[in-house]
Chain A
Amino acid sequence: MYEGIVQELIDEFGRLPGIGPKSAQRIAFHILQTESHDTTRLAELLTIVREKVRFCEICGNVTEHETCSICRDPRRSQATICVVEEAKDVVAIERTREFRGLYHVLGGAISPIDGVGPDDLRIRQLMQRLADGTVTEVIIATDPNLEGEATATYLSRLLHQPGLTVSRLASGLPVGGDLEYADEVTLGRAFEGRRLVEN
Protein backbone atom coordinates (compact mmCIF):
# COMPACT_ATOMS: atom_id res chain seq x y z
CA MET A 1 0.00 0.00 0.00
CA TYR A 2 1.27 3.44 -0.95
CA GLU A 3 0.34 6.62 0.82
CA GLY A 4 -2.39 9.05 -0.16
CA ILE A 5 -2.82 10.19 -3.74
CA VAL A 6 -0.48 7.61 -5.32
CA GLN A 7 -2.59 4.75 -3.94
CA GLU A 8 -5.76 6.53 -5.08
CA LEU A 9 -4.35 6.73 -8.62
CA ILE A 10 -3.43 3.01 -8.55
CA ASP A 11 -6.93 2.16 -7.31
CA GLU A 12 -8.55 4.21 -10.10
CA PHE A 13 -6.47 2.52 -12.80
CA GLY A 14 -7.30 -0.84 -11.21
CA ARG A 15 -10.99 -0.20 -11.84
CA LEU A 16 -10.48 -0.09 -15.63
CA PRO A 17 -11.39 -3.25 -17.60
CA GLY A 18 -8.49 -5.67 -18.04
CA ILE A 19 -6.21 -3.80 -15.62
CA GLY A 20 -5.09 -5.78 -12.60
CA PRO A 21 -3.37 -4.42 -9.47
CA LYS A 22 0.14 -4.94 -10.88
CA SER A 23 -0.69 -3.24 -14.20
CA ALA A 24 -2.37 -0.38 -12.33
CA GLN A 25 0.77 0.13 -10.26
CA ARG A 26 2.98 0.05 -13.39
CA ILE A 27 0.84 2.66 -15.21
CA ALA A 28 0.72 4.91 -12.14
CA PHE A 29 4.53 4.88 -11.81
CA HIS A 30 4.91 5.45 -15.56
CA ILE A 31 2.82 8.61 -15.17
CA LEU A 32 4.90 9.74 -12.17
CA GLN A 33 8.07 9.43 -14.26
CA THR A 34 6.65 11.04 -17.44
CA GLU A 35 7.20 14.65 -18.58
CA SER A 36 4.50 16.84 -17.06
CA HIS A 37 3.11 18.11 -20.42
CA ASP A 38 2.36 14.52 -21.48
CA THR A 39 0.24 13.87 -18.42
CA THR A 40 -1.49 17.24 -18.78
CA ARG A 41 -2.42 16.33 -22.36
CA LEU A 42 -3.77 12.96 -21.15
CA ALA A 43 -5.84 14.59 -18.41
CA GLU A 44 -7.24 17.15 -20.89
CA LEU A 45 -8.15 14.42 -23.38
CA LEU A 46 -9.99 12.41 -20.74
CA THR A 47 -12.07 15.46 -19.84
CA ILE A 48 -12.76 16.38 -23.49
CA VAL A 49 -13.78 12.83 -24.39
CA ARG A 50 -16.34 12.77 -21.59
CA GLU A 51 -17.69 16.19 -22.62
CA LYS A 52 -17.72 15.91 -26.43
CA VAL A 53 -18.12 12.26 -27.42
CA ARG A 54 -21.66 10.94 -27.54
CA PHE A 55 -23.63 8.26 -29.33
CA CYS A 56 -25.07 8.87 -32.81
CA GLU A 57 -28.80 9.53 -32.56
CA ILE A 58 -29.46 7.32 -35.59
CA CYS A 59 -27.14 4.32 -35.34
CA GLY A 60 -25.61 4.44 -31.83
CA ASN A 61 -22.02 4.73 -33.10
CA VAL A 62 -19.62 7.06 -31.21
CA THR A 63 -19.42 10.59 -32.59
CA GLU A 64 -18.65 14.17 -31.64
CA HIS A 65 -21.82 15.41 -33.38
CA GLU A 66 -25.51 14.53 -33.23
CA THR A 67 -25.03 11.98 -35.99
CA CYS A 68 -21.90 10.05 -36.98
CA SER A 69 -19.92 10.55 -40.20
CA ILE A 70 -21.26 7.29 -41.68
CA CYS A 71 -24.93 8.28 -41.20
CA ARG A 72 -24.17 11.75 -42.66
CA ASP A 73 -22.39 10.34 -45.74
CA PRO A 74 -24.80 10.59 -48.76
CA ARG A 75 -22.65 8.19 -50.80
CA ARG A 76 -23.48 5.25 -48.56
CA SER A 77 -26.35 2.92 -49.45
CA GLN A 78 -29.47 3.68 -47.42
CA ALA A 79 -30.99 0.31 -48.31
CA THR A 80 -28.66 -1.86 -46.22
CA ILE A 81 -28.07 -1.87 -42.48
CA CYS A 82 -25.39 -3.91 -40.77
CA VAL A 83 -26.28 -4.67 -37.13
CA VAL A 84 -23.31 -4.92 -34.74
CA GLU A 85 -22.92 -5.28 -30.97
CA GLU A 86 -20.45 -2.49 -30.20
CA ALA A 87 -19.10 0.66 -31.85
CA LYS A 88 -15.67 -0.98 -32.13
CA ASP A 89 -17.23 -3.58 -34.46
CA VAL A 90 -18.06 -0.74 -36.90
CA VAL A 91 -14.35 0.08 -37.11
CA ALA A 92 -13.49 -3.60 -37.71
CA ILE A 93 -15.96 -3.86 -40.60
CA GLU A 94 -14.95 -0.49 -42.05
CA ARG A 95 -11.36 -1.76 -42.24
CA THR A 96 -12.50 -4.42 -44.75
CA ARG A 97 -13.73 -1.71 -47.22
CA GLU A 98 -16.31 -4.28 -48.37
CA PHE A 99 -19.44 -2.73 -46.90
CA ARG A 100 -20.92 0.56 -48.14
CA GLY A 101 -24.22 0.62 -46.26
CA LEU A 102 -25.22 1.95 -42.84
CA TYR A 103 -24.77 0.50 -39.35
CA HIS A 104 -26.85 -0.04 -36.26
CA VAL A 105 -25.07 -0.52 -32.93
CA LEU A 106 -27.09 -2.59 -30.46
CA GLY A 107 -24.98 -1.74 -27.42
CA GLY A 108 -24.31 -5.37 -26.44
CA ALA A 109 -25.82 -8.83 -26.83
CA ILE A 110 -28.68 -10.65 -25.13
CA SER A 111 -27.30 -12.36 -22.03
CA PRO A 112 -29.98 -13.40 -19.50
CA ILE A 113 -27.36 -14.59 -16.99
CA ASP A 114 -25.96 -11.02 -16.89
CA GLY A 115 -29.47 -9.58 -16.71
CA VAL A 116 -29.36 -8.22 -20.30
CA GLY A 117 -32.57 -8.82 -22.24
CA PRO A 118 -33.85 -7.51 -25.61
CA ASP A 119 -35.30 -4.38 -23.95
CA ASP A 120 -31.83 -3.37 -22.73
CA LEU A 121 -30.49 -3.15 -26.30
CA ARG A 122 -31.23 -0.68 -29.11
CA ILE A 123 -33.61 -3.09 -30.85
CA ARG A 124 -36.64 -0.77 -30.67
CA GLN A 125 -34.61 1.94 -32.45
CA LEU A 126 -33.67 -0.58 -35.17
CA MET A 127 -37.34 -1.42 -35.75
CA GLN A 128 -38.10 2.31 -36.03
CA ARG A 129 -35.41 2.69 -38.72
CA LEU A 130 -36.97 -0.15 -40.71
CA ALA A 131 -40.52 1.17 -40.46
CA ASP A 132 -40.50 3.42 -43.59
CA GLY A 133 -39.45 0.61 -45.98
CA THR A 134 -36.24 2.31 -47.24
CA VAL A 135 -34.09 -0.49 -45.86
CA THR A 136 -34.36 -3.72 -47.86
CA GLU A 137 -31.53 -5.74 -46.32
CA VAL A 138 -30.34 -6.24 -42.75
CA ILE A 139 -26.99 -7.96 -42.18
CA ILE A 140 -26.63 -9.34 -38.66
CA ALA A 141 -22.97 -9.09 -37.66
CA THR A 142 -23.11 -9.97 -33.96
CA ASP A 143 -20.11 -11.81 -32.46
CA PRO A 144 -19.82 -15.50 -33.40
CA ASN A 145 -20.15 -16.57 -29.76
CA LEU A 146 -23.09 -17.89 -27.77
CA GLU A 147 -24.62 -14.51 -26.84
CA GLY A 148 -24.07 -13.16 -30.36
CA GLU A 149 -25.73 -16.20 -31.96
CA ALA A 150 -28.70 -16.00 -29.59
CA THR A 151 -29.09 -12.28 -30.36
CA ALA A 152 -28.99 -13.09 -34.09
CA THR A 153 -31.69 -15.76 -33.57
CA TYR A 154 -33.88 -13.27 -31.71
CA LEU A 155 -33.40 -10.57 -34.37
CA SER A 156 -34.05 -12.91 -37.30
CA ARG A 157 -37.35 -13.90 -35.68
CA LEU A 158 -38.26 -10.25 -35.14
CA LEU A 159 -37.19 -9.09 -38.61
CA HIS A 160 -39.16 -11.74 -40.47
CA GLN A 161 -41.25 -9.42 -42.64
CA PRO A 162 -42.07 -9.13 -46.37
CA GLY A 163 -39.69 -7.10 -48.52
CA LEU A 164 -36.80 -7.37 -46.08
CA THR A 165 -33.81 -9.67 -46.63
CA VAL A 166 -32.08 -10.74 -43.42
CA SER A 167 -28.62 -12.30 -43.61
CA ARG A 168 -26.00 -13.36 -41.07
CA LEU A 169 -22.24 -13.00 -41.48
CA ALA A 170 -20.64 -16.28 -42.54
CA SER A 171 -18.45 -18.04 -40.02
CA GLY A 172 -15.99 -20.83 -40.51
CA LEU A 173 -12.32 -21.47 -41.06
CA PRO A 174 -9.87 -18.64 -40.41
CA VAL A 175 -7.59 -17.65 -43.26
CA GLY A 176 -4.09 -18.99 -42.71
CA GLY A 177 -5.12 -21.85 -40.41
CA ASP A 178 -4.76 -25.62 -40.71
CA LEU A 179 -7.93 -27.70 -41.17
CA GLU A 180 -6.80 -30.35 -38.68
CA TYR A 181 -6.74 -27.81 -35.84
CA ALA A 182 -10.27 -26.49 -36.44
CA ASP A 183 -12.77 -27.40 -33.72
CA GLU A 184 -15.90 -29.31 -34.73
CA VAL A 185 -18.27 -26.36 -34.19
CA THR A 186 -16.28 -24.07 -36.48
CA LEU A 187 -15.75 -26.82 -39.05
CA GLY A 188 -19.48 -27.67 -38.92
CA ARG A 189 -20.34 -24.03 -39.61
CA ALA A 190 -17.88 -23.97 -42.49
CA PHE A 191 -19.66 -26.96 -44.02
CA GLU A 192 -23.07 -25.36 -43.49
CA GLY A 193 -21.94 -22.16 -45.15
CA ARG A 194 -20.02 -23.76 -48.05
CA ARG A 195 -20.47 -22.12 -51.44
CA LEU A 196 -20.40 -23.31 -55.02
CA VAL A 197 -17.14 -22.95 -56.91
CA GLU A 198 -17.71 -21.38 -60.31
CA ASN A 199 -16.22 -23.31 -63.24
Chain B
Amino acid sequence: MPLYRDEVVVLRTHKLGEADRIVTMLSRQHGKIRAVAKGVRRTASKFGARLEPFMVADAQFYEGRTLDVITQAVSVGAYGPAITSDYGAYTAASAMVETADKLTEDEGSLQQYLLLVGALRSLSRREHGPGLTLDSYLLRSLAIAGWSPSFHDCAMTGAPGPHSAFVVQLGGVVSDEVAPPGAPRLDAATLSLLGALLSGDWSVAEAADERTRSQASGIVAAYAQFHLERRLRSLEHVDRSSPSGAREEQTT
Protein backbone atom coordinates (compact mmCIF):
# COMPACT_ATOMS: atom_id res chain seq x y z
CA MET B 1 0.00 0.00 0.00
CA PRO B 2 2.26 2.80 -1.23
CA LEU B 3 -0.43 5.51 -0.90
CA TYR B 4 -2.78 6.09 2.00
CA ARG B 5 -5.01 8.90 3.21
CA ASP B 6 -6.13 10.02 6.67
CA GLU B 7 -7.45 12.97 8.62
CA VAL B 8 -4.71 14.42 10.82
CA VAL B 9 -4.07 17.13 13.39
CA VAL B 10 -0.57 18.61 13.22
CA LEU B 11 1.30 18.40 16.54
CA ARG B 12 4.66 19.90 15.66
CA THR B 13 7.12 20.47 12.85
CA HIS B 14 10.90 20.32 12.45
CA LYS B 15 12.95 21.93 9.72
CA LEU B 16 14.56 19.52 7.26
CA GLY B 17 17.14 20.51 4.68
CA GLU B 18 16.70 23.68 2.62
CA ALA B 19 12.93 24.01 2.39
CA ASP B 20 11.33 20.82 3.79
CA ARG B 21 9.75 19.99 7.11
CA ILE B 22 9.22 16.83 9.13
CA VAL B 23 5.62 17.05 10.34
CA THR B 24 4.45 15.08 13.38
CA MET B 25 0.72 14.41 13.26
CA LEU B 26 -1.92 12.54 15.21
CA SER B 27 -4.22 10.80 12.78
CA ARG B 28 -7.74 9.48 13.05
CA GLN B 29 -6.94 5.93 11.90
CA HIS B 30 -3.17 5.45 11.70
CA GLY B 31 -2.09 6.73 15.12
CA LYS B 32 0.87 9.07 15.15
CA ILE B 33 2.51 9.77 11.80
CA ARG B 34 5.85 11.45 11.09
CA ALA B 35 6.14 12.45 7.47
CA VAL B 36 8.16 14.75 5.23
CA ALA B 37 6.42 17.76 3.66
CA LYS B 38 8.59 18.81 0.74
CA GLY B 39 9.14 22.47 -0.09
CA VAL B 40 6.64 23.76 2.49
CA ARG B 41 8.99 26.45 3.82
CA ARG B 42 9.01 28.20 0.47
CA THR B 43 6.59 31.14 0.27
CA ALA B 44 5.11 29.68 -2.91
CA SER B 45 4.28 26.35 -1.22
CA LYS B 46 0.84 25.06 -2.10
CA PHE B 47 0.12 23.43 1.26
CA GLY B 48 2.58 24.85 3.77
CA ALA B 49 -0.11 26.77 5.65
CA ARG B 50 -2.23 23.62 5.97
CA LEU B 51 0.56 21.75 7.75
CA GLU B 52 1.25 24.19 10.58
CA PRO B 53 0.67 23.05 14.18
CA PHE B 54 -2.99 23.06 15.38
CA MET B 55 -4.29 22.61 11.81
CA VAL B 56 -6.57 19.70 10.96
CA ALA B 57 -6.17 18.39 7.43
CA ASP B 58 -7.19 15.58 5.13
CA ALA B 59 -3.81 14.40 3.91
CA GLN B 60 -2.47 11.84 1.45
CA PHE B 61 0.82 10.06 2.13
CA TYR B 62 3.29 8.04 0.16
CA GLU B 63 5.00 5.32 2.16
CA GLY B 64 8.74 5.93 2.28
CA ARG B 65 11.61 3.75 3.48
CA THR B 66 12.16 5.66 6.72
CA LEU B 67 9.63 8.50 6.70
CA ASP B 68 6.42 8.80 4.71
CA VAL B 69 5.99 11.74 2.32
CA ILE B 70 2.94 14.04 2.29
CA THR B 71 1.72 14.38 -1.28
CA GLN B 72 -1.50 16.35 -0.77
CA ALA B 73 -3.27 18.17 2.07
CA VAL B 74 -6.67 19.86 2.28
CA SER B 75 -7.78 21.87 5.31
CA VAL B 76 -10.54 20.41 7.48
CA GLY B 77 -10.14 22.81 10.41
CA ALA B 78 -7.90 25.87 10.09
CA TYR B 79 -7.62 26.58 13.83
CA GLY B 80 -4.04 27.92 13.78
CA PRO B 81 -4.66 31.57 12.79
CA ALA B 82 -7.45 32.05 15.36
CA ILE B 83 -5.39 30.44 18.12
CA THR B 84 -2.22 32.44 17.43
CA SER B 85 -4.16 35.72 17.50
CA ASP B 86 -4.61 35.13 21.26
CA TYR B 87 -1.31 34.59 23.07
CA GLY B 88 -2.92 32.77 26.00
CA ALA B 89 -4.68 30.38 23.61
CA TYR B 90 -1.41 29.80 21.73
CA THR B 91 0.50 28.79 24.86
CA ALA B 92 -2.39 26.55 25.99
CA ALA B 93 -2.60 24.88 22.57
CA SER B 94 1.17 24.30 22.59
CA ALA B 95 0.87 22.47 25.92
CA MET B 96 -2.01 20.39 24.49
CA VAL B 97 -0.12 19.23 21.41
CA GLU B 98 2.98 18.47 23.47
CA THR B 99 0.85 16.34 25.82
CA ALA B 100 -0.78 14.57 22.87
CA ASP B 101 2.66 13.93 21.38
CA LYS B 102 3.87 12.33 24.61
CA LEU B 103 0.66 10.39 25.34
CA THR B 104 0.55 8.82 21.89
CA GLU B 105 4.25 7.95 21.73
CA ASP B 106 3.54 4.20 21.39
CA GLU B 107 0.15 4.25 19.73
CA GLY B 108 -2.59 6.78 19.00
CA SER B 109 -6.30 6.34 19.51
CA LEU B 110 -9.44 7.75 17.94
CA GLN B 111 -10.53 9.11 21.35
CA GLN B 112 -7.29 11.03 21.81
CA TYR B 113 -7.60 12.40 18.28
CA LEU B 114 -11.19 13.56 18.75
CA LEU B 115 -10.43 15.08 22.17
CA LEU B 116 -7.50 17.10 20.82
CA VAL B 117 -9.41 18.33 17.77
CA GLY B 118 -12.34 19.32 19.99
CA ALA B 119 -10.08 21.18 22.41
CA LEU B 120 -8.31 23.09 19.61
CA ARG B 121 -11.64 23.96 18.01
CA SER B 122 -12.93 25.24 21.37
CA LEU B 123 -9.79 27.36 21.85
CA SER B 124 -10.07 28.86 18.37
CA ARG B 125 -13.72 29.78 19.00
CA ARG B 126 -12.93 31.30 22.43
CA GLU B 127 -15.64 29.13 23.99
CA HIS B 128 -13.90 29.02 27.39
CA GLY B 129 -10.77 30.52 28.93
CA PRO B 130 -7.53 29.00 27.57
CA GLY B 131 -6.38 27.95 31.04
CA LEU B 132 -9.60 26.09 31.82
CA THR B 133 -9.66 24.46 28.38
CA LEU B 134 -6.06 23.29 28.83
CA ASP B 135 -6.65 21.87 32.32
CA SER B 136 -9.79 20.08 31.16
CA TYR B 137 -7.93 18.65 28.17
CA LEU B 138 -5.05 17.41 30.33
CA LEU B 139 -7.37 15.63 32.78
CA ARG B 140 -9.48 14.05 30.04
CA SER B 141 -6.56 12.95 27.90
CA LEU B 142 -4.95 11.30 30.93
CA ALA B 143 -8.27 9.62 31.72
CA ILE B 144 -8.43 8.20 28.17
CA ALA B 145 -4.86 6.95 28.61
CA GLY B 146 -5.94 5.06 31.73
CA TRP B 147 -4.90 7.52 34.44
CA SER B 148 -8.29 8.91 35.40
CA PRO B 149 -7.93 10.83 38.68
CA SER B 150 -10.45 10.57 41.51
CA PHE B 151 -11.67 13.82 43.05
CA HIS B 152 -14.40 12.42 45.32
CA ASP B 153 -14.06 8.79 46.40
CA CYS B 154 -10.79 7.42 47.78
CA ALA B 155 -8.46 6.46 44.92
CA MET B 156 -6.96 3.64 47.02
CA THR B 157 -9.83 2.00 48.90
CA GLY B 158 -12.85 3.35 47.06
CA ALA B 159 -14.28 4.69 50.34
CA PRO B 160 -17.03 7.19 49.51
CA GLY B 161 -15.95 10.84 49.72
CA PRO B 162 -15.59 13.67 50.04
CA HIS B 163 -11.90 13.46 51.01
CA SER B 164 -9.43 16.33 51.04
CA ALA B 165 -5.97 14.68 51.01
CA PHE B 166 -4.66 14.72 47.42
CA VAL B 167 -1.77 12.44 46.50
CA VAL B 168 -0.63 12.58 42.88
CA GLN B 169 1.21 9.26 43.14
CA LEU B 170 -1.91 7.46 44.44
CA GLY B 171 -4.20 8.78 41.70
CA GLY B 172 -6.24 11.51 43.38
CA VAL B 173 -7.92 12.12 46.74
CA VAL B 174 -7.48 9.47 49.42
CA SER B 175 -9.17 8.85 52.75
CA ASP B 176 -7.45 9.94 55.97
CA GLU B 177 -6.72 6.27 56.83
CA VAL B 178 -4.40 5.79 53.85
CA ALA B 179 -3.19 9.38 53.36
CA PRO B 180 0.58 9.65 53.93
CA PRO B 181 1.70 12.15 56.57
CA GLY B 182 1.98 15.67 55.18
CA ALA B 183 -0.22 14.98 52.14
CA PRO B 184 -1.53 18.28 50.70
CA ARG B 185 -5.17 19.10 51.46
CA LEU B 186 -7.45 20.64 48.85
CA ASP B 187 -10.50 22.74 49.70
CA ALA B 188 -13.97 21.81 48.47
CA ALA B 189 -14.02 24.55 45.79
CA THR B 190 -10.79 23.28 44.17
CA LEU B 191 -12.01 19.66 44.20
CA SER B 192 -15.32 20.77 42.72
CA LEU B 193 -13.50 22.64 39.92
CA LEU B 194 -11.23 19.67 39.20
CA GLY B 195 -14.24 17.35 39.01
CA ALA B 196 -16.02 19.79 36.69
CA LEU B 197 -12.98 20.02 34.41
CA LEU B 198 -12.78 16.23 34.21
CA SER B 199 -16.47 15.81 33.43
CA GLY B 200 -16.80 18.91 31.23
CA ASP B 201 -19.24 20.76 33.49
CA TRP B 202 -18.40 24.23 32.18
CA SER B 203 -20.99 26.16 34.19
CA VAL B 204 -19.28 25.03 37.42
CA ALA B 205 -15.77 25.48 35.99
CA GLU B 206 -16.35 29.04 34.81
CA ALA B 207 -17.90 30.07 38.12
CA ALA B 208 -14.62 29.31 39.96
CA ASP B 209 -12.57 32.27 41.21
CA GLU B 210 -8.95 32.98 40.17
CA ARG B 211 -7.38 31.54 43.34
CA THR B 212 -9.26 28.26 42.91
CA ARG B 213 -8.31 28.08 39.21
CA SER B 214 -4.68 28.70 40.04
CA GLN B 215 -4.64 25.94 42.68
CA ALA B 216 -6.41 23.51 40.34
CA SER B 217 -4.00 24.21 37.46
CA GLY B 218 -1.05 23.46 39.74
CA ILE B 219 -2.60 20.11 40.70
CA VAL B 220 -3.37 19.26 37.05
CA ALA B 221 0.18 20.10 35.96
CA ALA B 222 1.71 17.97 38.72
CA TYR B 223 -0.67 15.08 38.00
CA ALA B 224 0.00 15.17 34.23
CA GLN B 225 3.79 15.34 34.54
CA PHE B 226 3.94 12.56 37.14
CA HIS B 227 2.01 10.14 34.93
CA LEU B 228 3.79 11.15 31.73
CA GLU B 229 7.07 10.59 33.62
CA ARG B 230 8.59 13.71 32.09
CA ARG B 231 8.42 17.47 32.23
CA LEU B 232 6.12 19.28 29.79
CA ARG B 233 8.19 22.21 28.57
CA SER B 234 5.17 24.14 27.27
CA LEU B 235 3.49 24.22 30.69
CA GLU B 236 6.14 26.64 32.01
CA HIS B 237 5.17 29.13 29.32
CA VAL B 238 1.37 28.94 29.59
CA ASP B 239 0.06 32.48 29.86
CA ARG B 240 -2.81 32.59 32.33
CA SER B 241 -2.55 36.34 32.91
CA SER B 242 -5.16 37.40 30.38
CA PRO B 243 -8.07 34.98 30.43
CA SER B 244 -10.06 35.27 27.25
CA GLY B 245 -13.21 33.67 25.88
CA ALA B 246 -16.62 35.12 25.39
CA ARG B 247 -18.25 33.42 28.34
CA GLU B 248 -15.39 34.22 30.67
CA GLU B 249 -15.53 37.90 29.79
CA GLN B 250 -19.21 37.93 30.70
CA THR B 251 -18.48 36.66 34.19
CA THR B 252 -15.77 39.21 34.95
- Interfacial residues, chain A to chain B (CB-CB below 8 A): 17-18, 110-115, 117, 144-146, 149-150, 153-154, 157, 174, 176-177, 181, 183-186, 188-189
Residue from the list A145, A146, A153, A183 in contact with B87, Cβ < 8 A: A153
Would A150 and B52 count as touching, CB distance under 8 A?
Answer: no
Using known A-B contacts A18-B18, A145-B52, determine if residue A184 contacts B78 with beta carbons closer than 8 Å: yes
Nearest B-chain residue to A155, judged by Cβ: B87
**A157: nearest chain-B partner, CB-CB:** B87
Surface stretch bound by A, among B89-97, B178-186, B221-229: B89-97
Q: Which residues of B contact A (CB under 8 A)?
A: 12, 15-18, 43-44, 46-50, 52-54, 75, 78, 80-81, 84-87, 90-91, 94-95, 97-98, 233-234, 236-238, 242
Q: Which secondary structure dominates chain B's binding surface?
A: mixed
A196 to B46: give the CA distance in the assembly, Å.
27
**Within the complex, what minimum Cβ distance (angstroms) separates B26 from chain A?**
14
Other contacts beyond A112-B238, A144-B43, A153-B87: 10, CB < 8 A: A110-B237, A112-B233, A113-B98, A114-B233, A150-B84, A157-B242, A184-B49, A185-B80, A185-B81, A189-B81
Task: Compute how far the CA of A112 lies from the CA of B97 in the bound complex, rounded to whole angstroms.
Answer: 11
User: A183 and B236 in contact (CB under 8 A), knowing A146-B54, A150-B87?
Assistant: no
**19 A-B residue pairs with CB within 8 Å:** A17-B15, A18-B17, A18-B18, A112-B234, A112-B237, A113-B233, A115-B236, A117-B236, A117-B237, A146-B53, A146-B80, A146-B84, A149-B85, A174-B43, A174-B44, A183-B46, A183-B47, A183-B50, A184-B49
Write out the residue numbers on chain A whose beta carbons fall within 8 Å of the beta carbon of B84: 146, 149-150, 153
Contacts of A18 on B, CB cut-off 8 Å?
Answer: 15-18
* Complex A-B, nearest 8 residue pairs according to Cβ-Cβ distance, in ascending order: A112-B234, A112-B237, A185-B49, A112-B94, A115-B233, A149-B84, A117-B237, A150-B90
Complex-state Cα separation, A18 to B54, whole angstroms: 25
Contacts of A157 in B (CB 8 A): 87, 242
- Which residues of B lie under 8 Å from residue A17 when comparing CB positions? 15
Given the complex of chains A and B, what is the CA–CA distance between A58 and B76 in angstroms?
A: 44
Nearest chain B residue, comparing its CB with the CB of A192: B81
Chain B contacts for A146, CB-based, 8 A: 52-54, 80, 84
In the bound assembly, the distance between CA atoms of A145 and B55 in angstroms comes to 12
Chain A residues in 8 Å Cβ range of B238: 112
Determine the chain A residues whose CB is within 8 A of the CB of B85 once the complex forms.
149, 153
Contacts of B47 in A (CB 8 A): 183
Q: How far is the CA of A143 from the CA of B87 in the complex (A)?
A: 16
